[in-house]
Structure 1
Amino acid sequence: MKVTLFATCLVDMFQTNVGKATVELLERLGCMVEFPESQVCCGQPAYNSGYVKDSKEAMKKMIDTFRDAEVIVCPSGSCAYMFHEYQHIFKGDPVWEPKAKKLADKTYELTEFIVDVLKTEDVGARLNGKATYHTSCHMTRLLGVREAPIKLLQHVKGLEFTELPNKHQCCGFGGTFSVKMAQISEQMVDEKVQHAEETEADYLIGADAGCLMNIGGRMERVGAPLKVLHIAEVLNSR
């Protein structure tokens, strides 16, 4: 199957290892991966900050960039959801709403694609240790991807999985929320770190680069012993 990778800004700028792991994993699962170099930001930070008009230019650029893609795969639930949100943002626009709906219909978050499209739950990964999983807000509450990442992690050989207490709570990132409401965000991420430490896990795993950057950064500052990993890195481990 030919898939087109929507890498996301954070992966492109800060977590290139996640992009590499995603490509290697998909190729090992029999996919041919394409990467349009003209892709830019999906517009989510500007849109969520209220700059709707300005963000639409980036959205139109992305719609055009992925116009010819058969299937779009994204290693971020938040950014994958934003592609689905385009059709509502352009609702009533005779030109862009139909294009946005076509984009949404072929866009999948990485674990959703593996489980629901490729019909695979065991990707042959191995990682020794104990792990817990952070359920990011956009991916679970808005995109509706809840079971796929857990099913995949439960098949990773050598990995003992334990549920994260109060997993439904936001980590405090929320994009620009963590900048505008830094003190509140800090308290939220401290709670997340505390709950992760309570599991006595070796790894905290997630599927959104923003959440992992926020949690991982706080863990480093307070000296928490867990290693933070993107689920693509885990599933690509051998």
Structure 2
Amino acid sequence: MLPTADIFIPCFVDQLYPATAMNMVKVLERVGVQVNYNPDQTCCGQPAYNAGYKPQSRAVAEKFLQDFAAPEAANPRYVVSPSASCVGMVRNSYTDLFADTPALASCQAVQGRTYELTEFLVDVVGISAIPGARLAGKYTYHDSCSALRECGIRASPRLLLDSVAGLERVEMADNTTCCGFGGTFAVKFEAISVAMAQQKVEHALDTGADFIVSTDVSCLMHLEAYIKKEKLPLKCLHIADVLASGW
């Protein structure tokens, strides 16, 4: 029996890239996963936490735990998100927020079943390809800091992307280097942030790729802004948008 995915749609995706959320649903349903969406969900609390507002962040995180408490069901349920950044927040920072509190047990229960989209597809559902996925061109993959360092995600997105018909991977230099976004870092240290984006984009261009693909729209938004400003021949795509293409 396939699991149920209680999808968590992050703020960036909800407000700026809603089509990516719909494509995640499309992909999950394509492989037979039952999708559930709780319309009362809000934020995971990461913006406040990263800015140092721990009590305020905990209040938002408490709501997240309530929104994604697992009901009794015959099939297993997982929290699935198209953002390694938010998944990293839940898996790691929630431990700090709820240490030595009555909510620790419910926190750990949610942490244990929270997954980023690609690792859920590969590690939980057990698939290596989305039937019918097709996109012509070359892609280079950007390992977001949250995916790689907080969640240990590296192989699963490449495995799924390499199975897309017509798509060829070309790795860029320094592909594990930060893109420069970092949330409020991009606002507080604009010059450094832009320089880091420039370096990342130049490495991508050097590969001859048509697309930069990643698990995180926050990174892609940052890179896309630089690409558009400089009018460069490169397009940013979230992995859900790639896997949902061609069918």
Distance in 2 (alpha carbons) for counterparts of 1:42 and 1:79: 7
- Map Cα deviations across residues 57-115 of structure 1 (whole Å, 9 max, x no partner): 1000111000126211000111011111212321111x111111011001000000000
> Which of 160, 170, 177 is the aligned partner of 1:169?
177
Distance in 1 (alpha carbons) for counterparts of 2:221 and 2:199: 16
1:99 corresponds to? 106
Distance in 2 (alpha carbons) for counterparts of 1:99 and 1:158: 44
Unaligned runs of 5+ in 2: 72-76
Distance in 1 (alpha carbons) for counterparts of 2:151 and 2:78: 17
CA contact (8 A) 1:193 1:224 kept: no
Note if 1:227 corresponds to 2:229.
Answer: no
1:171 deviates by 0.4
SS of the equivalent of 2:6 reads strand
Matched residue type, 1:152: L
SS of the equivalent of 2:236 reads strand
SS of the equivalent of 2:5 reads strand
Residues 59-208 of structure 1 correspond to what in structure 2 (within 5 A)? 59-68=61-70, 70-85=77-92, 86-93=94-101, 95-124=102-131, 125-208=133-216
- Any runs of at least 4 consecutive aligned residues in structure 1 with deviations exceeding 2 A, and if so which? none
1:117 deviates by 0.6
More deviation in 180-189 or 68-77? 68-77
SS of the equivalent of 1:54 reads helix
Distance in 1 (alpha carbons) for counterparts of 2:79 and 2:44: 13
Matched residue type, 2:39: E
TM-score, with length taken from structure 2? 0.94
2:57 corresponds to? 55
Distance in 2 (alpha carbons) for counterparts of 1:141 and 1:230: 19
Note if 1:46 corresponds to 2:54.
Answer: no
Distance in 1 (alpha carbons) for counterparts of 2:161 and 2:215: 12
CA contact (8 A) 1:164 1:195 kept: yes
Percent of aligned pairs sharing the same letter: 41
Distance in 2 (alpha carbons) for counterparts of 1:145 and 1:198: 24
Matched residue type, 1:112: E
Matched residue type, 2:86: C
More deviation in 30-39 or 63-72? 63-72
1:222 deviates by 0.8
CA contact (8 A) 1:2 1:34 kept: yes
How many matched pairs?
Answer: 237
Matched residue type, 2:99: K
Unaligned runs of 5+ in 1: none
CA contact (8 A) 1:129 1:159 kept: yes
CA contact (8 A) 1:170 1:188 kept: yes
1:6 corresponds to? 8
Distance in 1 (alpha carbons) for counterparts of 2:15 and 2:205: 28
CA contact (8 A) 1:190 1:218 kept: yes
RMSD, matched Cα: 0.9
